[in-house]
Chains A and B, each alone.
Chain A
Amino acid sequence: MIRMENVKKAFGSKEVLRGMTLHVPKGTSMVIIGGSGTGKSVALKCILGLIQPDSGAILVDGKDAAKGDRDAFLARFGMLFQGGALFDSLPVWQNVAFRLLRGSLKRPQSEARDIAVEKLRRVGLKPDVADLFPAELSGGMQKRVGLARAIAAEPEIIFFDEPTTGLDPIMAGVINDLIREIVVEMGATAMTITHDMTSVRAIADNVAMLHDGVIKWTGPVAGMDDSGDPYLDQFIHGRAEGPIEAVR
């Protein structure tokens, strides 16, 4: 469904992606792992068109992601941002129903609110949260609201950027379970980037290891532990010694 072919992106003299190639089949959950600053977020943003790659091809369902109707393209995606990226000026329900209150998916306000409350319930939040503002929520609640917003318009493809960063282990477990349940129940294609190996094992069907701007290893999550790839081994076991330099 999503195919990246030899994608390159540099910021000034710093080459972040040096020819990333990856295939995410429809209806599967791909988790990209890798150290900080290896270009995981840049890869996701290139697919969404938030960043223009310097070269290479990004195809979604065989079509060039950079061409065609941009609104229709983005309407297929939902994204959970690392910090939630909730709009401070809007109450929770309007954050969740943002896409349903404007643009091509617009519907009556009462209907949009009902959907928002239902999505909040789906991520384990009570209806009275709907009228609070994001600043009144804890980090875990903000992540859940972000998740509710990502799934509000029932997208075909959902991206999760560091979904458990900054959460305690129990809340991280709750978010991992929610992501897995939602992806399975919606039949969506998911791409997640994370450093959290617990998340990887909970969320992934397939795993890709990004290092130095290229995919070093990719395969099913079950094959991760006996991959024989020195980069992946070092990363999943958290060793300071190995081919990945600890000081970057």
Chain B
Amino acid sequence: MNPLSLLERLGRAVLTLLAVTGRMALFAAQAFMHIFRPPYYPREFANALMNIGWLSLPVVGLTAIFTGGALALQIYSGGARFNAEAVVPQIVAIGMVRELGPVLVGLMIAARVTSSIAAEIATMKVTEQIDALVTLSTHPMKYLVAPRVLAAFITLPMLVAVGDIIGIGGGYVVAVQNLGFNAAAYLQNTVDFLESRDIVSSLVKGAVFGVIAALMGCYYGMQSGRGAQGVGSATKDSVEVAAILILAANFVLTGVFFSI
């Protein structure tokens, strides 16, 4: 391949990436601005709280309980190689609260909520419902985006807290039922080992991941192309980008909270 052509392609890809990043940043800034400026849509906000928070509880709970249980088994069998089976409660707690709880909840929300927001808004765009909103003197950013972003910002830390507790519970059940741990000692070890910094980092990660998940769903929905293919692409892209941004943000936040 001609090296100039390769360079041209690379340059075009970089420019596209910068343009998309810029558009996303502007979109996010507008979304935050509309959260604070009236008019407010409390009914839309309540619906978003219900859809993003309450209705995500089953999937978050099931993900956390199985992950916590598997984590306990892995730590027990791995720890047995150097006589460290007793650290199961501590490592399950730290693993769930610092990393697995927020990341898995974030990814499950990206799969469940980002996709549904993107598909809904993209369908509204394709069927001219967004244009209809504008002609009815209603700003789509205020009516569709701001309530969802705010609801995700509020509910994700709660979902992460629930996920952390259920995940630790999953590890507890496996450890006590299958691995012969003493129930009271397991709980005492868990409580003693966790620091407030672990819990704060978990909740902050949840809030950041919630904003990312909702923003990406709204952004790709609003940018959707025409027809069924446009809706499909918007949905796929929103989940991919949300998942990658959540993992990248997790890395950065872990560095901020735990790099000593």
With A83-B127, A85-B127, A87-B129 as contacts: A48 and B134 at CB distance below 8 Å: yes
**At the interface, yes or no: B5 with Cβ under 8 Å from chain A?**
no
Give the docked Cα–Cα distance between A105 and B135 (Å): 14
Residues A74 and B128 in contact, CB atoms below 8 Å apart? no
With A102-B39, A103-B39 as contacts: A71 and B131 at CB distance below 8 Å: no
With A74-B137, A75-B137, A85-B127 as contacts: A102 and B41 at CB distance below 8 Å: yes
**At the interface, yes or no: B132 with Cβ under 8 Å from chain A?**
yes
Residues B137 and A81 in contact, CB atoms below 8 Å apart? no
Q: Which residue of B lies closest to A153 (CB)?
A: B136
Residues of A within 8 A of B134 (CB): 48-50, 74
Residues of B within 8 A of A105 (CB): 137
Residues of A within 8 A of B137 (CB): 70-71, 74-75, 99, 103-105
Q: Which residue of B lies closest to A73 (CB)?
A: B137
Interface residue tally on B, bucketed by range? 10 to 19
Q: Which residue of A lies closest to B135 (CB)?
A: A79
Give the docked Cα–Cα distance between A58 and B131 (Å): 19
Residues B129 and A77 in contact, CB atoms below 8 Å apart? no
Residues of B within 8 A of A79 (CB): 132, 135
8 A Cβ contacts from B46-69 to A: 47
**At the interface, yes or no: B21 with Cβ under 8 Å from chain A?**
no
Interface string of A60-94 (1 = CB under 8 A from B): 00000000001100110111011101111100000
Residues B39 and A83 in contact, CB atoms below 8 Å apart? no
Give the docked Cα–Cα distance between A187 and B210 (Å): 50
**At the interface, yes or no: B138 with Cβ under 8 Å from chain A?**
yes
Residues B135 and A74 in contact, CB atoms below 8 Å apart? yes
Q: Which residue of B lies closest to A152 (CB)?
A: B136
Q: Which residue of A lies closest to B47 (CB)?
A: A89
Give the docked Cα–Cα distance between A214 and B233 (Å): 35
B131 touches which one: A45, A75, A87, A98 (CB < 8 A)? Answer: A45
Give the docked Cα–Cα distance between A87 and B43 (Å): 15
Centre residue among B47, B127, B129, B135 by max chain A CB count within 10 A:
B135
Q: Which residue of A lies closest to B41 (CB)?
A: A102
Residues A50 and B129 in contact, CB atoms below 8 Å apart? no
B135 touches which one: A48, A87, A88, A89 (CB < 8 A)? Answer: A48
Minimum C-beta distance from B7 to chain A (A): 25
Give the docked Cα–Cα distance between A57 and B204 (Å): 50
Minimum C-beta distance from A193 to chain B (A): 14
Residues A85 and B128 in contact, CB atoms below 8 Å apart? yes
Residues of A within 8 A of B138 (CB): 98, 102-103
8 A Cβ contacts from B108-150 to A: 123-124, 127-129, 131-132, 134-138
Centre residue among B123, B128, B134, B136 by max chain A CB count within 10 A:
B136
Residues B39 and A82 in contact, CB atoms below 8 Å apart? no
Give the docked Cα–Cα distance between A70 and B135 (Å): 10
Residues A81 and B132 in contact, CB atoms below 8 Å apart? yes
Give the docked Cα–Cα distance between A120 and B134 (Å): 22
Q: Which residue of B lies closest to A51 (CB)?
A: B131
Minimum C-beta distance from B258 to chain A (A): 42
B128 touches which one: A77, A78, A83, A99 (CB < 8 A)? Answer: A83
Residues of A within 8 A of B39 (CB): 102-103
Give the docked Cα–Cα distance between A102 and B39 (Å): 9
Residues of A within 8 A of B127 (CB): 83, 85
Residues A77 and B41 in contact, CB atoms below 8 Å apart? no
Give the docked Cα–Cα distance between A152 and B181 (Å): 68
Interface string of B73-101 (1 = CB under 8 A from A): 00000000000000000000000000000
Residues of A within 8 A of B123 (CB): 88
Give the docked Cα–Cα distance between A34 and B156 (Å): 51
Give the docked Cα–Cα distance between A70 and B124 (Å): 22
Residues of B within 8 A of A71 (CB): 137
Q: Which residue of B lies closest to A99 (CB)?
A: B136
Residues of B within 8 A of A83 (CB): 127-128
Residues B136 and A50 in contact, CB atoms below 8 Å apart? no
Q: Which residue of B lies closest to A71 (CB)?
A: B137
Closest 7 pairs (CB-CB, A-B)? A85-B132, A85-B128, A74-B137, A79-B135, A81-B128, A71-B137, A99-B136
**Can you list 7 A-B contacts (CB < 8 A)?**
A74-B136, A75-B137, A79-B132, A85-B127, A89-B47, A102-B39, A105-B137
Beyond known contacts A79-B132, A83-B127, A99-B136: 18 more, CB 8 A cutoff: A48-B134, A74-B136, A78-B135, A79-B135, A81-B128, A81-B132, A82-B128, A85-B127, A85-B128, A85-B129, A87-B124, A87-B129, A98-B136, A98-B138, A102-B41, A102-B138, A103-B39, A105-B137
